[in-house]
């Protein structure tokens, strides 16, 4: 019998994207909460799974996987769902935007969430860094908006890329909890907004979001999470 996957998660963290994929693919999994309030992602037990100390980790029969984009691609390829196959016409475009989302959009968003990990500690320096990077983030969403196919980012079917971009848009609207946030909403990107609206109507997405207390419109009208356990930060 196949063992269930084990998702190490915190509510509304990057693990959410993996949970959305697991629910959409209808794969068996259980979750282990990482206690963010007490820095659980830096515990020895967690570091043994992901030495970079970042959430998510997905335990699989091939060992512990980390990096959101890698996990999404691994699941999609292994289960032949939610991504064009290696020989499909849309594969190149899919990979290009998946890597853009992971290594450019998500990486830049991280700087706005944790500016202290990237620059000196003075409040003015951190605010200036955040502002600069938020401008970049808006440009990235603009590029993705232009790239949206019909009706999904990858064309006719929803892919893990749609999940990744929708969650990044949610975070842009909600975080950082304090300090200036990006001066844009998903509504400013009409093709992405329409994609996100379709996504949040899907039962699997609603199940995953309910499990983390994200409200009925997690992407188009995002609210602060009210999770049954744990905390986002
Ligand atoms: N490149 C990583 C980024 C993951 C990431 O930023 N995780 C956040 C939670 S959403 C985290 O672990 N933050 C805690 C920290 O950086 O100390 C990935 O794609 O998985």
pLDDT in tens, 7-18: 999 999 999 999
Domain ranges of the chain: 5-79, 91-211
pLDDT in tens, 172-209: 999 987 776 777 788 999 999 999 999 999 999 999 99
- Nearest one of 152, 62, 151, 56 to 102, comparing CA atoms: 56
Contact yes or no for 112/130 (Cβ under 8 A):
yes
15 lines ligand 1 (CB under 6 A): no
Domains 5-79 and 91-211 share a fold: no
CATH number 3.40.50.2300 is the correct assignment for the domain at 5-79:
no
Q: Is the pLDDT of residue 1 over 60?
A: no
- Residue 230 CA to ligand 1 center (angstroms) comes to 16
Q: What is the pTM of this model?
A: 0.96
Atom number in ligand 1 closest to CA 102: 19
Upper half-sphere CA count for residue 20 (Cβ side, 13 Å): 31
**CATH code for the domain defined by 91-211:** 1.20.1050.10
13 lines ligand 1 (CB under 6 A): yes
Spatial separation of the C-alpha atoms in residues 183 and 172, rounded to whole Å: 9
101 lines ligand 1 (CB under 6 A): no
């Amino acid at each position: 019998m196949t063992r269930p996957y084990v998702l190490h998660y915190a509510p509304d963290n990057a693990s959410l994207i993996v949970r959305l994929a697991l629910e959409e693919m209808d794969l068996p999994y259980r979750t282990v909460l990482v206690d963010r309030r007490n820095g659980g992602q830096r515990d020895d037990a967690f570091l043994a799974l992901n030495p970079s100390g970042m959430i998510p980790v997905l335990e699989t029969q091939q060992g512990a996987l980390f990096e959101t984009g890698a996990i999404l691609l691994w699941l999609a390829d292994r289960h032949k769902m939610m991504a064009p196959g290696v020989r499909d016409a849309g594969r190149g475009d899919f990979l290009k935007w998946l890597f853009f989302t992971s290594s450019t959009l998500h990486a830049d968003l991280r700087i706005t969430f944790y500016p202290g990990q990237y620059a000196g500690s003075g409040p003015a320096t951190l605010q200036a860094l955040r502002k600069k990077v938020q401008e970049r983030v808006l440009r990235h969403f603009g590029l993705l908006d232009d790239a949206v196919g019909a009706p999904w980012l990858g064309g006719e079917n929803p892919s893990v890329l749609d999940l990744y971009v929708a969650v990044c848009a949610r975070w842009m609207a909600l975080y950082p909890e304090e300090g200036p946030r990006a001066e844009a909403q998903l509504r400013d990107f009409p093709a992405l907004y329409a994609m996100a609206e379709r996504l949040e109507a899907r039962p699997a997405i609603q199940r995953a979001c309910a499990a983390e207390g994200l409200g009925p419109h997690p992407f188009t009208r995002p609210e602060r999470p009210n999770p049954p356990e744990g905390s986002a930060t």
